[in-house]
Structure 1
């Protein structure tokens, strides 16, 4: 394993551990609507990414600056990051709706489905190859996800929205040319204008929770923007260094942690079928990781 691949592996691992524990933080803000939470994630992530990108630009050499400016002049660059921004905004909205409405287990289901979409896109779109044993592993995981879908007792639109949007985001990021932090700055910049329009209308209507005298809430909304950047930066670095199929299997770490958080930290009801589905998924993950040929 090359140094670049090793770095990508650990970046993907770190991103998924953080995402797995995210419901604990965002559930503390459950009194705020999911749409407003998404908006503040965008605004404060933009602020932090702009500061970081500005410092890095000033410290970089002339060659790096010229390359960055040339990339920003290409319509293709803006198209890629606009698509990434659109997809990640959908993902954030669905996730925040789930964790603020006592549906953390559905959130974890969404992130269980997402790696299957990643693997499918990696094979179909990017031409990545899978050994026969790993196709069997994907089959086991698919059975587990199907069981958990039926166990949920309702059409899991939140789960499917999270899965499809994040798998698409991973695919788009494979085509990205900017480094992770500059890329994140561009994504949040694309989302900033519609976000500010929404927040303006929200506050003009007398709604909105930020700046209403609750210093703790204000601080957590700001911190949420910074925490948003950390796993995305790790994920972006991983997407440019390791195959999408490997990213897909590592993404099972995040939903497993979310599953444990939902079941044991928040005490959401968990049926026998859910546990059976969980066992199938992790059997698939074990085969995927062990069987390399």
Structure 2
């Protein structure tokens, strides 16, 4: 198997896991979202450490904690990714799967907006048209439903800012992820111990099956990240561009056809505007790359 095909398989596996992960959160929906989050943080840490050792990744933990600026950036990204995880978990366990799909469809366009507002990047006419379409889609929902789509916007905002910070951290995906979880573990452990002490926790009292599912959350958090990190080094950016829509598309299909969440005309119109914006910006990006192909490959992280 060629390196490019192997990379495509690895990255596609990561997006498949991210796209199907609502099934996991539905399985643990009896557990409060904040408790699920705490377990996810705690169990992700040893899994990330094990993956670094098994995959023979460079050990950057010491370098990170000795670099105040880098450590500060990763602490900020830890807060953002934990916020993203909480919103996502709460939404899935409260039958708002469709809203999470909307949030991750919005995210690429929100990332463009961040590049303009924060990094002072120039906005092309095509990107402007895409952002306008996405804004119309969000405004359509606000006007039609009389409420702010806070789940979708919260996911796009937290993950967009997370990506912006990680763009400026010179560490590989797994090392950065390990530092983020280690930073959050003390608070998560204190919270879980307090829950079990007061009898409100479900890890000890809810049975073996549910306890194992909560531990599995750490695996489902760290493993797709490692698959993605390995895959992105082997495939062209154009392939990655298409793959990034696989996850919210799978979540969308689960929401509508498996969990039968309401998908009325207003939601349809909102999605159509956002999908149109994504189609425009993706098509333009592909056209530019064909005219002036580039060799460097980028790497990034996913949240869910």
Return the TM-score normalized by structure 1: 0.83
Name the structure 2 match of 1:50: 49
CA distance, structure 2, for counterparts of residue 261 and residue 49 of structure 1: 28
**Partner SS state of residue 210, structure 1:** coil
Q: Structure 1, residues 202-227: CA drift from partner, whole Å, max 9, x if none?
A: 11110111132522212211111111
Displacement after TM superposition at 1:127 (Å): 4.2
Assess if the C-alpha contact under 8 Å between 1:15 and 1:231 holds in 2: yes
CA distance, structure 2, for counterparts of residue 84 and residue 24 of structure 1: 26
CA gap of 1:241–1:197, structure 2 versus 1, over 3 A, is farther
Matched, 1:215 2:208: yes
Residue 187 of structure 1, aligned match among 169, 175, 180? 180
Displacement after TM superposition at 1:240 (Å): 9.5
Displacement after TM superposition at 1:25 (Å): 1.6
Name the structure 1 match of 2:40: 41
Q: Structure 1, residues 207-261: CA drift from partner, whole Å, max 9, x if none?
A: 111132522212211111111113334566799999x9x9898654433322221
CA gap of 1:165–1:156, structure 2 versus 1, over 3 A, is same
Alignment of structure 1 residues 92-241 onto 2, 5 Å:
92-212=85-205, 214-233=207-226
CA gap of 1:199–1:95, structure 2 versus 1, over 3 A, is same
After superposition, the CA RMSD in angstroms is: 3.3
CA distance, structure 2, for counterparts of residue 45 and residue 237 of structure 1: 18
Q: Structure 1, residues 170-224: CA drift from partner, whole Å, max 9, x if none?
A: 1111012111111111110000011111111111110111132522212211111
CA gap of 1:152–1:205, structure 2 versus 1, over 3 A, is farther
Structure 1 unmatched ranges of 5 or more: none
Q: Structure 1, residues 70-116: CA drift from partner, whole Å, max 9, x if none?
A: 34311112111111110010011111111001111222222233223
CA distance, structure 2, for counterparts of residue 257 and residue 144 of structure 1: 20
Displacement after TM superposition at 1:45 (Å): 0.4
Residue 271 of structure 1, aligned match among 257, 261, 264? 264
CA gap of 1:148–1:11, structure 2 versus 1, over 3 A, is farther
Aligned residues: 283
Name the structure 2 match of 1:28: 27
CA distance, structure 2, for counterparts of residue 143 and residue 226 of structure 1: 38
More divergent stretch after superposition (107-116 vs 11-20): 11-20
Structure 2 unmatched ranges of 5 or more: 289-304
